[in-house]
Structure 1
């Protein structure tokens, strides 16, 4: 019987260790010196694995961008060496990494200092932008910057103990006692010694939960602390719905994980070590002269990368783009077959890259095919915790990397894969620059119908940043993430890929003011079509990659043989064709698929 966690996931820590063989099937080899011993301990902590050999590959053990950043921070702190992430790709085993570390010079590690106590503290660039957007949009923005989470709890829950645990969390993390104010024209944050707060409790029937959640999630007043609320709904004696909501200006995805993990520890009366620093210390550090100088060096890279005319992604949409950006959204999910994922991993391993980079590259090919553009920009979120002192602190640290690539039809896919890989590694090495600071340095036309810089984001392995993956271990209680409709889309499209237990799942959040679900569903089919082609032919030219699947070709042939075409259909296709005349044949096939005209008919016209 395979042991499971309270969330229903495989509990790897409870699994017996296979004798003599490591996690990746490589024969186990113990560390041979002090540096290797330190690296083994770091890998075990970051990867959550009990035994690591010096020949094990970091990425085959489950390492990815977030964990790579965490590991680099730990190495810097414990060994005094500033390790570029690209060196981890070149030296993915402990033995290789130890040799590299011995050859480089020491880069002195500096802790984030404690700032002096004051009535007000400076804000970070992320907080400044969120505050500006909230005030610019006003009521129209609504709850788009709220971070609501809902759990279903089964078992003998003690609501008083839960309330005490929540109060301890508010005392522990200053972010949960912070408000924001304008002093003249300067935005500042105020940390309150105490915050008036209480857990709201009520009883309800199960069919009422949807309406209760919708009522619970409401706008925050940023000048009033705490920017956090919680509510417990009793459905039965051992059945509760637990809701929490925080504003993004004081929290992010990793903060939510910290919140739930520490809440479960406080509930069972565990003691937590004191926090050496708080978010205000990080904010003061980000505003320090030393940090600004470091950031300016990295800014040069981004200004070079984003020089010239910046592309605006022009995807064919189902509806005309509204003059002001709409935030209503929906989610479409799909899955890659396990056997296809296995083949993709083999290809990725042979090309010495990662699943994230391969999936991102395929996504860029899809966008290029749909838009007919070669210059493609995609955003990808990053935890933003580039210093190991920040790992246990609640606050908004998340940053977004801007990934720009030129996709030429004469490119082979494997060559493009290498180009994207180098771009991602370069971006990670310059990840200290907040996206808000970068946007302020660029000369961008204000367009209230779009996001600045990019309209789509791609993320991978969000399981490390999803609150439903937090360790919620409370005896006799079962915590299950309660799915609810958030209906918010900050971008035209946000693609999330997550690997779990040999399966690859995609979640596409899309703006319903632009796209129908049928369009997103078709894009998912075409994404899989591209993926399967590059697995079979990694050296295929981009110009040779086809969007139309075999099933769609069959449908087109069937439609082609149906010669009865009414006047309305002829009129429709004529109007559509005139509007899309500059598109490529592949794009036309996508656009006209819904009206039943075939590729051959389009060519005739």
Structure 2
């Protein structure tokens, strides 16, 4: 949000100037026989448009909707551009600037660099030429990260993650799809200044950081909710260890899978000490790209889950940029793209008042908004408990809230029934009579309504009875899983028979014995 006079044409020129300085903003990627190849053009590849929303009924809402739509637009890596900008006029002295960049050419740190240089170019300041370009860094990294250096780094992670659980098995509201859709949503809350100050002092007393405190809290909450004592959390790191990379726009960030062992009787102090050691060791071995690490440690992927970890903690600490553009004051407006990269991601960021903003991004494939609220509340409650007494054992810090206790002990246990439980075949027939057109079952090939399911099962029942099936006769089903298997099950049970499915992958001798 820009409050104050703005020269849109000068802003356009500033954007083009900055893009001309960084090869990543002049880049597209072509598919060659050996794989993708970076093509750097001579001119900036930025899509810049201006919109006048001042005539709309609600300019602010229209700007938010436009920004959200921009965030959801896909990029074409082969043709570009990989950066889009929309400047929206709400009124004479009020604009909204929406920026969308593909992650292949930028990261969170890059946004600060981009804004800083836009501000300088807008006011006509001379910018020194970048000492290197991203391609130079990539070439250096590929040359350096070989041989003994690479082997030592890979060996560390091989040892650090040996025996780690293949997945974090959090209870979910919906079955995990075989292929993630990456649809998601976000919830945001705030940790007050007093708690943040107290947690910061606790960290300093242990020679640690607020980031390690939040990592410890998240690990403890996940351990309690998943019922696991071995937790792996993904943590992004800026990976800009060389001074030449500090003012470059590009994708430098790397991800570290940091492992934490949870002992419920340990104190928060003990957990924080462990997390601090693990983080320091991981940071000293942060140079292996995560995708290389995943290829090395998880050659056989479960396509329904992210490899090595399913929950990420992002602690935003990129350098702050002066919030002014000429005579216009800048204010950050949060937006969302309706996606979730992982099962859960906790994004934390300190603001100027000393509060800590906590944003929980969650997969809507797996969790309802209510469950996401409960998880975020767990995190906040554990932060307050740790701030009040870090010498408490973890099982007390992460104890159930009164709301959850009521839900588990009373609401979920209210299982009294007034109706009579009948057999499943009768239940399906009753449902077909009341909601015949509702979808009952779906597989890769077709969907059946309750009327269709009940009708086909009844026809099979009649055929089996005609064939001489009597109660308790065993009837073998030799076929694929899917709608046909369910029709067969109901048809056999309706005739009084026992359903005996055969495993098509079993050896023929095993099937014959069955």
Aligned mates of 1:568, 1:201 — CA distance in 2: 63
Q: Does the aligned pair in 2 maintain the 1:529–1:548 contact within 8 Å?
A: no
Superposed CA RMSD: 2.8
Q: Does residue 208 of structure 1 match 2:62? A: yes
Aligned mates of 1:295, 1:568 — CA distance in 2: 66
DSSP-derived class of the 1:265 partner: helix
CA 570–284 in structure 1, closer or farther in 2 if over 3 Å, else same: farther
Q: Does the aligned pair in 1 maintain the 2:45–2:82 contact within 8 Å?
A: no
Equivalent of 1:464, from 291, 315, 318?
318
Equivalent of 2:338, from 487, 508, 517?
487
DSSP-derived class of the 2:235 partner: strand
Q: Does the aligned pair in 1 maintain the 2:164–2:230 contact within 8 Å?
A: no
Q: Does the aligned pair in 2 maintain the 1:491–1:510 contact within 8 Å?
A: yes
Equivalent of 2:31, from 146, 165, 182?
182
Superposition pairs for residues 410-429 of structure 1, below 5 Å?
A: 410-429=265-284
Post-superposition offset of 1:514: 1.0
User: Which string of whole-angstrom CA distances, capped at 9 and with x for unpartnered residues, describes residues 448-503 of structure 1?
Assistant: 2111111101122x1526xxx43243332122223333211101111122233232
Post-superposition offset of 1:570: 12
Q: Does residue 231 of structure 1 match 2:86? A: yes
Equivalent of 1:567, from 414, 417, 428?
417
TM-score in terms of structure 1 length: 0.63
Aligned mates of 1:551, 1:312 — CA distance in 2: 28
* Aligned equivalent of 1:35: none
* Aligned equivalent of 1:277: 132
Aligned mates of 1:544, 1:216 — CA distance in 2: 45
Q: Does the aligned pair in 2 maintain the 1:330–1:509 contact within 8 Å?
A: yes
Post-superposition offset of 1:347: 2.8
Aligned mates of 1:530, 1:498 — CA distance in 2: 18
DSSP-derived class of the 2:36 partner: strand
Post-superposition offset of 1:433: 1.2
Aligned mates of 2:368, 2:277 — CA distance in 1: 35
* Aligned equivalent of 2:393: 541
* Aligned equivalent of 1:574: none
Moved more, 287-296 or 489-498: 287-296
Post-superposition offset of 1:154: 2.6
Aligned mates of 2:318, 2:46 — CA distance in 1: 30
Superposition pairs for residues 370-519 of structure 1, below 5 Å?
A: 370-460=225-315, 462-464=316-318, 469-500=320-351, 501-519=353-371
Aligned mates of 1:446, 1:160 — CA distance in 2: 49
Aligned mates of 1:569, 1:509 — CA distance in 2: 41
Aligned mates of 2:46, 2:80 — CA distance in 1: 9
Aligned mates of 1:172, 1:409 — CA distance in 2: 53
Q: Does residue 192 of structure 1 match 2:44? A: no
CA 568–517 in structure 1, closer or farther in 2 if over 3 Å, else same: farther
Post-superposition offset of 1:177: 0.6
Aligned mates of 2:302, 2:100 — CA distance in 1: 30
Post-superposition offset of 1:328: 1.2
Q: Does residue 528 of structure 1 match 2:377? A: no
- Compare CA radii of gyration and give the structure with the larger one: 2
CA 227–498 in structure 1, closer or farther in 2 if over 3 Å, else same: closer
Aligned mates of 2:152, 2:408 — CA distance in 1: 54
Q: Does residue 170 of structure 1 match 2:19? A: yes
Post-superposition offset of 1:564: 8.5
Moved more, 509-518 or 442-451: 442-451
DSSP-derived class of the 2:255 partner: strand
Post-superposition offset of 1:525: 2.7
CA 569–545 in structure 1, closer or farther in 2 if over 3 Å, else same: farther
Q: Does the aligned pair in 1 maintain the 2:45–2:83 contact within 8 Å?
A: no
Q: Does the aligned pair in 2 maintain the 1:227–1:246 contact within 8 Å?
A: yes
Aligned mates of 2:194, 2:365 — CA distance in 1: 36
TM-score in terms of structure 2 length: 0.74
DSSP-derived class of the 1:162 partner: helix
DSSP-derived class of the 2:228 partner: coil
CA 546–463 in structure 1, closer or farther in 2 if over 3 Å, else same: closer
CA 546–457 in structure 1, closer or farther in 2 if over 3 Å, else same: closer
CA 391–548 in structure 1, closer or farther in 2 if over 3 Å, else same: same
More strand by share: 2
DSSP-derived class of the 2:256 partner: strand
Superposition pairs for residues 234-313 of structure 1, below 5 Å?
A: 234-289=89-144, 293-308=148-163, 310-313=165-168
Q: Does the aligned pair in 1 maintain the 2:47–2:81 contact within 8 Å?
A: no
